[in-house]
Amino acid sequence: YYPYTLHHQHNKAVILSHKLKESQAKKQFEFSTMPVRQMSGRRQERRSSSAVNLAGSIIQGDGTSKRRSSGYSLPLMDSLKCPIQDSSSSPFIPDGLTSSVYGTDNPPEDWCDVGLLIPHEALRREMAAMVDSVSALKKDYDDSVDDWRVLYFAEWYVDSFSKVVHSHHQNEETIYFPWIQTKANIPEKKMAKDHGELMEMINNMEAVCDSIITKEGKGCSNEIEKLQQQAPIFEKHMLEHLKEEEEMVPPLLRENFTQEEEDKCIQKILKREGLSG
């Protein structure tokens, strides 16, 4: 629910999916959703060639379309809204989940399990793409040839990734968790970083990306080195954070709330994001 803005923030989004194939490293450098905002000149021209529809397909400038190579890991999103079924098998499709809590051996069973799993799956996939993209950058790149690679990553990070992560945490802190606390006590995190610590990491990387944008991607070897140091550390702590929430929240929901009550809370989150569901 919350980071559906990964695909249509402000109901308008664009995708830049530039696959950079290095003959030796053979690494894929892929960028996903970037929200449209008022821009001029070179940045707007680069972004106007692609747009994304709400189903997650990339609509190319020539009118053709193709499915995203990496999207939500819950293949049938509509199935997540199905009611709890009287069956020993899970009504959901666990194949491809990135969660370390749920998978084919331990599939989500009901709405309590799925509540946080939907946004967390989207975040984990975007984080993986972010780390892979940073790793593919070369510190000794040629400004005249590869500056756009560095600049595209920085713009995607600032315009999309950072905003989505901030929005996700804000929705949890101001809407979702306070709602849970009306009937249950949320245990303190034992191992994972809290939201404030994670946001500090996000902001530090955003400052580096702002520097890259200011330089228009030229002469950014120091910035690339910082990102390559910071991105994997952030991913590690974020994964631990998401794991603890997926272990902690479902039992609280199951013991204290109904699916209808949670849906009302989710509607508040969607409304805050300018969406409906």
pLDDT, tens only, 242-266: 999 999 999 999 999 999 999 999 9
Would you list the DSSP string of 227-273? HHHHHHHHHHHHHHHHHHHHHHHHHHHHHH--HHHHHHHHHHHHHHT
- Rounded Cα distance between 48 and 60, Å, is 10
Return the structure tokens found at 117.
């799993």
Is the pLDDT at 270 greater than 70? The verdict is yes
Residue 70 phi/psi, 5° resolution? -135, 115
For 74-104, how does the pLDDT look when each residue is reduced to its tens digit (9 = 90+)?
Answer: 333 333 444 444 444 667 778 889 999 999 9
* Confidence at 10, pLDDT banded by 50, 70, 90: very low
Q: Identify the weakest region by mean pLDDT among 102-116, 206-220, 224-238.
A: 102-116
| Spatial CB neighbours of 206, under 8 Å, sequence gap ≥ 6 | 157, 158, 162
- Higher local confidence (pLDDT), 191 or 124: 124
Residue 273 is predicted with a pLDDT of 84
Is the pLDDT at 127 greater than 80? The verdict is yes
- Rounded Cα distance between 45 and 14, Å, is 12
For 137-186, how does the pLDDT look when each residue is reduced to its tens digit (9 = 90+)?
Answer: 999 999 989 999 999 999 999 999 999 999 999 999 999 999 999 999 98
For 21-76, how does the pLDDT look when each residue is reduced to its tens digit (9 = 90+)?
Answer: 333 333 333 333 333 333 334 444 443 332 222 222 222 334 333 333 333 333 33
CA angle in degrees (0–180, nearest 5) for 224-230-232:
110
* Confidence at 187, pLDDT banded by 50, 70, 90: confident
Is the pLDDT at 188 greater than 50? The verdict is yes
Would you list the DSSP string of 37-91? ----THHHHHHTTEEE-TTSEEEETTS-EEE-SS--SSS-GGGGGSPP-SSSS-S
